[in-house]
Amino acid sequence: MGLLSDPNRRKALTGLLTRLNTPICGMPVEWLVKAMQSRGLEVFTQSFSRKLPFPDENKERYMVRGTNVYGILRAPRAPRTEALVITAPCSPGNTNNQAVALLLALAQYFRNQIYWAKDIIFLVNEHDLIGTQAWLEGYHHTNITGMEYSPLQGRAGSIQAALSLELSSDVITSLDLVLEGLNGQLPNLDLANLFYAFCQKLGVLCTIQGKLQRNDWDTAEGYTHAAQTMMLMVLKQACGRSWGDHGLFLRYHIEAASVRGINSFRHYKTDATTIGRLLEGMVRKLNNLLERLHQSYFFYLLPSLSRFVSIGYYMPAFGLLAVILLLRALDLWVHLGAPALAAVDGVTEPSSPGVLTVLTPVVISHLTGVALYLLPVHLQEMAVEHFPVSETEAVVLTAIAIYTAGLALPHNTQRLLSGEGTEQGWKVLKLTALLYLAVLLGCTALINFSLGFILAVTLVPITASITPHMPKALYAVVMVLLSPAFTILYCVFIYQELIEAPVSVSEGWMLFLSVISQGILDHALYGSLVYPLLALFIYPCWLMFWNILFWN
């Protein structure tokens, strides 16, 4: 591994770094094309444009127009069948310039080597995730999200793995590995192991969730530390967004991770050369793969980089929660069977409630869900006209308004059609709702365990125990406090607490609003499924239980 060991190359890299440190407006497309061409790559560009459904206030963008530049290093030993991707987002300002410089230095070094068996694509993407999304859709000739992009001119076969680089300074204290991808997908655990092995080898501090690993596993502090790291991972995975450029690759069955350089106040610093050697090692290992990464786990939780919790350990926890719902449903089923005997004794009760009794609340709840899903984005113009708010605020506030209105709307709706609610009526409704929730949570946990687990923890106890005969006011408060929206709010506070940046209530509220707008944006831009899941299924299901509480 001779990368940058000779003084000439190091000098060249330093030159690049200083060059890039000068402020540049936007992405220097032409310069990048020339730089890549002079390093002997086949260079192509892709332009894309995307109009966001409403302005993104966090990143201050609405009409996005950009260009991706990518250079392909053709492997001498293979016929363009497989490729590896190294990507560095190039954002306006100079927050990620060091990564682009390192990318170019790696390209130059890699180009002079003969051992490549897979083509290597060096991608510099503009507007971070939107650029990556445009490039991936162009590469695979799909269009999932209505992005406008120019077709790609050069390809390199099926992509086997991808690494995303984010460095904001030329020296770093530690490297952070980011694994959580879109919809909670994770790359193969071997990729994380590879990173960890090379960090150990080169003596680079490595973290996950920004937390260093502790050696004292048996002590209470060590245990708490690991538990906190894992909880952070659960929260990040549950929110279903892509936490780095790598997250979008996972949809295409490409193992990918982001490597993020962190520069804190520690004394021990690592320079770009070491990071280059680390990446060189990782890419060479991936280059030598004969098969896709498949030997190890795809479903795991990491309490630290060197330990993992496999699906076999965490799934039973969820299973125990879900079985409550099923047992409760079984109980109701038995109870519903019993009145047939009571009817013989002459109790005047209709033998079975009409279909309408159950169907009406189900349909109305779901219509509310559809409204929650569709209206915020579509009504933003009207809202902006009538209220003194920005588009983003309009969308978020409309969503909250519809959510709240839903609480008032559906209860007792069945009376409009079938008169007084009967004892059997709510039991049938609850049976339906319990089974529905069990199926929903089960499916969610299979795809995104963390999301399923968090929802199960908050929803299962109250939904399993709810009946119309409870003290209404008290239980109404409890139910609202355990509704999906409040779950999001708690998650925001817990997350801030875990990353050691606690917030006040008002700041938390603002964060909560931005989380909602991000969720809606992630759905529109990248096809994240958390928002539609919550709006179209979980919330209506919760409304059905709300309906039971206010039966008769």
Partner 1 sequence: MAAHRCGLSLVCILIFSSLAHPSSCDTLEKANDNTAEKRSISEVNTDGSVAGEALNERQWQSTDAEVDRSDSTTHSEALTPAAARDEFQEELVIRPLHSGDIYASFQFRTLWDTDFLQEGQKVSHYRLFPKSLGQVLSKFSVRELHISFTQGFWRTMQWGQPFIPSPPGAELWVWFHDTVSDVDGNWKELTNVLSGIFCASLNFIDLTNTVQPSASFKPLGLGNATDHRFLRYATLPREIVCTENLTPWKKLLPCGSKAGLAVLMKSEKLFHSSFHSQAVHIRPICQDEQCSSKAWELRQTLNVVFDLHTSGQGKKEWSLFKMFSRTLTEACPLASSSKVYVDITDNPEGELFELSPATPLLGQAVVLGDRRTYSVYDLSRAETFGQLRSFNLLLRWKGDSGDMLRPLLHAERYVAGFGLQTGEIHTVIYNNHPYRAFPVLLMDSVPWYLQLYIHTLTVTSKSRDNKPSYIHYQPAKDRHRPHLLEMLIQLPPHSMTEVTVQFERALLKWTEYTPDPNHDLTSIVPVKEESSYFVRVYTEPLLVNLPTPDFSMPYNVICLTCTVVAVGYGSFYNLLTRTFQVDEPSPPLSKRLANLIRRMRGVPLLT
- Which residues, 6+ apart, have CB-to-CB distance to 450 below 8 Å? 184, 233, 234, 235, 236, 237, 238, 301
Nearest distance, CB of residue 292 and partner 1, angstroms: 5
Nearest distance, CB of residue 160 and partner 1, angstroms: 9
Nearest distance, CB of residue 344 and partner 1, angstroms: 38
Q: Which of 229, 271, 201, 264 minimizes the C-alpha distance to 499?
A: 229
Q: What is the strand order of the sheet 158-166 is part of?
A: 148-149, 42-56, 61-73, 119-126, 82-90, 158-166, 255-262, 174-178, 206-208
> Of the two residues 11 and 77, which places its CB atom closer to partner 1 in the complex?
77
Instruction: Pick out residues in 392-431 that bind partner 1 (CB under 8 A).
Output: none
> Of the two residues 37 and 58, which places its CB atom closer to partner 1 in the complex?
37
Q: How many residues does the chain have?
A: 552
CB atoms within 10 A of CB 514: 16
Instruction: Pick out residues in 501-540 that bind partner 1 (CB under 8 A).
Output: none
Rounded CA-CA distance 374/398 in Å is 11
Q: Does 114 bind partner 1 (CB under 8 A)?
A: yes
Nearest distance, CB of residue 184 and partner 1, angstroms: 17
Q: How many CA atoms lie within 13 A of 381 on its CB side?
A: 2
> Of the two residues 39 and 427, which places its CB atom closer to partner 1 in the complex?
39
> Of the two residues 65 and 140, which places its CB atom closer to partner 1 in the complex?
140
Kindly indicate which of the ranges 35-43, 215-223, 315-323, 399-407 contains the residues binding partner 1, using the contact rule CB under 8 A. Answer: 35-43
On whether the CB atoms of residues 191 and 273 are closer than 8 A, the answer is no
> Of the two residues 290 and 474, which places its CB atom closer to partner 1 in the complex?
290
Nearest distance, CB of residue 161 and partner 1, angstroms: 13
Which token pair is 540? 């209506």
- In Å, what is the CA distance from 122 to each residue of 13, 87, 159, 300, 392? 17, 6, 12, 29, 35
Instruction: Pick out residues in 233-262 that bind partner 1 (CB under 8 A).
Output: 251-253
Which token pair is 246? 């790598």
Kindly indicate which of the ranges 106-114, 212-220, 276-284, 393-401 contains the residues binding partner 1, using the contact rule CB under 8 A. Answer: 106-114
Rounded CA-CA distance 116/135 in Å is 23
Give the position of tokens 């708490």: 224
> Of the two residues 82 and 170, which places its CB atom closer to partner 1 in the complex?
82
Nearest distance, CB of residue 410 and partner 1, angstroms: 37
CA angle 236, 240, 245 (to 5 degrees): 85
Site mask, partner 1, residues 57-96, x = CB under 8 A? -----------------xxxxxxxxx--------------
- In Å, what is the CA distance from 344 to each residue of 198, 334, 336, 341, 424? 76, 17, 15, 5, 16
Q: Cα-atom radius of gyration of the chain, to the nearest Å?
A: 27
Nearest distance, CB of residue 183 and partner 1, angstroms: 14
User: Could you tell me how many residues of this chain bind partner 1 (CB under 8 A)?
Assistant: 30
Q: Which of 86, 64, 250, 251 minimizes the C-alpha distance to 167?
A: 86
Nearest distance, CB of residue 88 and partner 1, angstroms: 22
Which token pair is 191? 């990729």
Site mask, partner 1, residues 182-221, x = CB under 8 A? ----------------------------------------
Nearest distance, CB of residue 454 and partner 1, angstroms: 28
Instruction: Pick out residues in 115-174 that bind partner 1 (CB under 8 A).
Output: 140-142, 154-155, 157-158
- Which residues, 6+ apart, have CB-to-CB distance to 541 below 8 Å? 365, 433, 436, 437, 440
Q: How many CA atoms lie within 13 A of 491 on its CB side?
A: 27
Among positions 7, 23, 60, 112, the unique one binding partner 1 when judged by CB under 8 A: 112
> Of the two residues 154 and 222, which places its CB atom closer to partner 1 in the complex?
154
Nearest distance, CB of residue 80 and partner 1, angstroms: 4
Pairing between strand 206-208 and 174-178? Answer: parallel
> Of the two residues 33 and 459, which places its CB atom closer to partner 1 in the complex?
33
CA 325 to chain centre: 27
DSSP label of 536: I
Among positions 14, 45, 113, 168, the unique one binding partner 1 when judged by CB under 8 A: 113
Rounded CA-CA distance 2/280 in Å is 10
> Of the two residues 368 and 528, which places its CB atom closer to partner 1 in the complex?
528
Nearest distance, CB of residue 443 and partner 1, angstroms: 18
> Of the two residues 196 and 297, which places its CB atom closer to partner 1 in the complex?
297
On whether the CB atoms of residues 138 and 231 are closer than 8 A, the answer is no
Nearest distance, CB of residue 295 and partner 1, angstroms: 8
Which token pair is 533? 């899941």
> Of the two residues 80 and 214, which places its CB atom closer to partner 1 in the complex?
80
On whether the CB atoms of residues 62 and 52 are closer than 8 A, the answer is yes
Strand partners, 271: 171
Among positions 10, 59, 111, 307, the unique one binding partner 1 when judged by CB under 8 A: 111
Instruction: Pick out residues in 280-299 that bind partner 1 (CB under 8 A).
Output: 290-292, 294
> Of the two residues 58 and 142, which places its CB atom closer to partner 1 in the complex?
142
Helix count and strand count (H, E) for the chain: 20, 13
On whether the CB atoms of residues 280 and 109 are closer than 8 A, the answer is yes
> Of the two residues 113 and 413, which places its CB atom closer to partner 1 in the complex?
113
Q: Does 334 bind partner 1 (CB under 8 A)?
A: no
> Of the two residues 290 and 408, which places its CB atom closer to partner 1 in the complex?
290
Nearest distance, CB of residue 313 and partner 1, angstroms: 17
Q: Does 5 bind partner 1 (CB under 8 A)?
A: no
Nearest distance, CB of residue 273 and partner 1, angstroms: 21
Note the residues at the interface with partner 1 (CB under 8 A).
37, 40, 42, 74-82, 111-114, 140-142, 154-155, 157-158, 251-253, 290-292, 294
